[in-house]
Structure 1
């Protein structure tokens, strides 16, 4: 196997990302989200006379698709672009959040019982959500300002979670959930950040502000790095993948030939631990098959291209 492009840091980051980020190792992420809860309350206080309180309830790692399924038909989401992170993030409000904010912004006193019905969101409710999302863009920039100077540009609103695309649905993400309390009722706001988006600021997020951390032992660090680099990893070269009905699979027989659409000119996908790494070219050398590394795999771009080709 011949590699025409080498970037050990990029490859090692991809392999580490495949295992997911431990939010417990990013103490400054908690600080940023706590700061966000405070700024959200301050920002909404300028829009209404009744106070609204935000509190951070949970931070966890989860797959994007699993989170969106929990809010299907029960939330409004907005896509934000973070240029410096080269990624998009998702902010959403559940149904109770929207209904509570409508009453707060229109001067209700909480005497009426909460709305308890499942129906499509009205234009007024969507417009109110958009007005809040536009304020959230500024709150995000301030909350993460000490870790990153990235702006967060509001792009669009989605009421169907199937269209709330910020990456592959099986990609890992960091999910923060906030509770809203207003007029003796509440709701939930959630933020989904792809773990790949946090890679540029991971080191900053991992450093606590206190100076109580133990000094790093460079000799021990070198030994750990040496052991990790000697770890054996299994690499797979995939010439073609296709979807087959279970009925067809049950009818497979010994000696049956499965025709492939791939040719010697087809690109080969090289992956490790289920993480796509490179596109390669198939070849031969001394009677053995070879793959020549051609280019890195941009998963987000591949996902968008796949959607557009359908």
Structure 2
């Protein structure tokens, strides 16, 4: 049944999935992050007399390596495993966040000037960050409890972003940034959710709460549909794909002929931005190559074939 569903999936949905993550298509994610800000403030209130306030700054898509490079040598990161999502997420505190929390937890009154020194984090600062991460492991399920009941297991702490690995660094992710206010100080917390982590719950997060859906404007919907359908997209026709050892690639020479197993009768795979769409037949017309669309690509079957061929 799953194979039939994926095979008959609208091409428009495949194109939208291939383009990456759209925050507007998962509105419940903002609700979860707002809950996270509230629960973080409540949790830290139990550790200190001075209140700490969290507010969601923004949520935006980004590549994981771009975010980690931004915070290199200026943040402490905690890696969390989410078994229900079969993925890992990352929570980070920037330098100002850590310094502010040290003062809050040790009873400072804010009369001293804030620390403005770029140096390695001390053992005390790392231990405090770890204590907060351990509390985050209890707070995160509360934030995501309504959209999806799951658990977050704190695995380790990293002070170098090179080692804060939660997947391929060039993968797409959603990054939520939170502002901390305490003792007239500031700081930033960030949460990185890889796209692979969101895929299992994307449909659930896309459903708004009852009573929150705005009435649909038919004219605006038609205009949006018209503009989207006029968008230019590049398509690729792939005659053959082959795995080649890196050693063979380094030995390639100009003029070398690489034989293909494909023939004029081989089926051609039509793709758009890496997303397989159709199987096609190769042909010719007026001296040009043509392709005739034959059938939808069965994504599940392609996945099984890829596994079996390894």
Where does 1:129-144 land on structure 2 (aligned, <5 Å)? Answer: 129-144=129-144
**Equivalent residue for 1:295?**
304
**1:26 Cα deviation from its structure 2 partner:** 1.6
Is the 1:15–1:272 contact (alpha carbons within 8 Å) kept by the matching residues of 2?
no
**1:259 Cα deviation from its structure 2 partner:** 8.2
Where does 1:116-127 land on structure 2 (aligned, <5 Å)? Answer: 116-127=116-127
TM-score computed with the length of structure 1 as normaliser: 0.72
C-alpha separation between the residues in 2 aligned to 1:77 and 1:150? Answer: 21
- Does residue 238 in structure 1 map to residue 241 in structure 2? yes
**Equivalent residue for 1:177?**
177
Is the 1:14–1:275 contact (alpha carbons within 8 Å) kept by the matching residues of 2?
no
Q: Cα deviations across residues 143-186 of structure 1 (Å, max 9, x unaligned)? A: 11001011001011111111111111111111100000111111
**Equivalent residue for 2:86?**
86
Is the 1:62–1:172 contact (alpha carbons within 8 Å) kept by the matching residues of 2?
yes
**Equivalent residue for 1:307?**
none
C-alpha separation between the residues in 1 aligned to 2:306 and 2:99? Answer: 43
**Which piece of structure 1 moves more, 65-74 or 13-22?**
13-22
**Equivalent residue for 1:41?**
41
**Runs of 4+ in structure 1 over 3 Å off:** 5-8, 10-17, 211-215, 231-238, 240-244, 270-277, 292-298
C-alpha separation between the residues in 2 aligned to 1:136 and 1:259? Answer: 54
CA spacing shift, 1:102–1:272, aligned 2, 3 Å: farther
**1:242 Cα deviation from its structure 2 partner:** 7.6
**1:274 Cα deviation from its structure 2 partner:** 5.1
Is the 1:17–1:195 contact (alpha carbons within 8 Å) kept by the matching residues of 2?
no
CA RMSD of aligned residues (A): 3.7
Where does 1:1-310 land on structure 2 (aligned, <5 Å)? Answer: 6=3, 9=6, 16-209=16-209, 210=211, 212-214=213-215, 234=236, 236=238, 237-240=240-243, 253=254, 256-257=255-256, 272-273=271-272, 275=274, 295=304
CA spacing shift, 1:203–1:143, aligned 2, 3 Å: same
C-alpha separation between the residues in 2 aligned to 1:65 and 1:7? Answer: 36
CA spacing shift, 1:76–1:187, aligned 2, 3 Å: same
Q: Cα deviations across residues 259-290 of structure 1 (Å, max 9, x unaligned)? A: 89x99xxxxxx99445488xxxxxxxxxxxxx
Q: Cα deviations across residues 78-103 of structure 1 (Å, max 9, x unaligned)? A: 11111111111000000110011011
CA spacing shift, 1:46–1:296, aligned 2, 3 Å: farther
**Equivalent residue for 2:288?**
none
Is the 2:54–2:178 contact (alpha carbons within 8 Å) kept by the matching residues of 1?
yes
Is the 1:80–1:90 contact (alpha carbons within 8 Å) kept by the matching residues of 2?
yes
C-alpha separation between the residues in 2 aligned to 1:293 and 1:53? Answer: 49
C-alpha separation between the residues in 1 aligned to 2:116 and 2:257? Answer: 54
C-alpha separation between the residues in 2 aligned to 1:47 and 1:108? Answer: 13
Q: Which runs of 5+ in 2 are unaligned?
A: 262-268, 277-300
Q: Which runs of 5+ in 1 are unaligned?
A: 264-269, 278-291, 303-310
C-alpha separation between the residues in 2 aligned to 1:186 and 1:232? Answer: 45
Q: Cα deviations across residues 275-308 of structure 1 (Å, max 9, x unaligned)? A: 488xxxxxxxxxxxxxx9573669xxx9xxxxxx
Is the 1:28–1:207 contact (alpha carbons within 8 Å) kept by the matching residues of 2?
yes
**Which piece of structure 1 moves more, 105-114 or 171-180?**
105-114
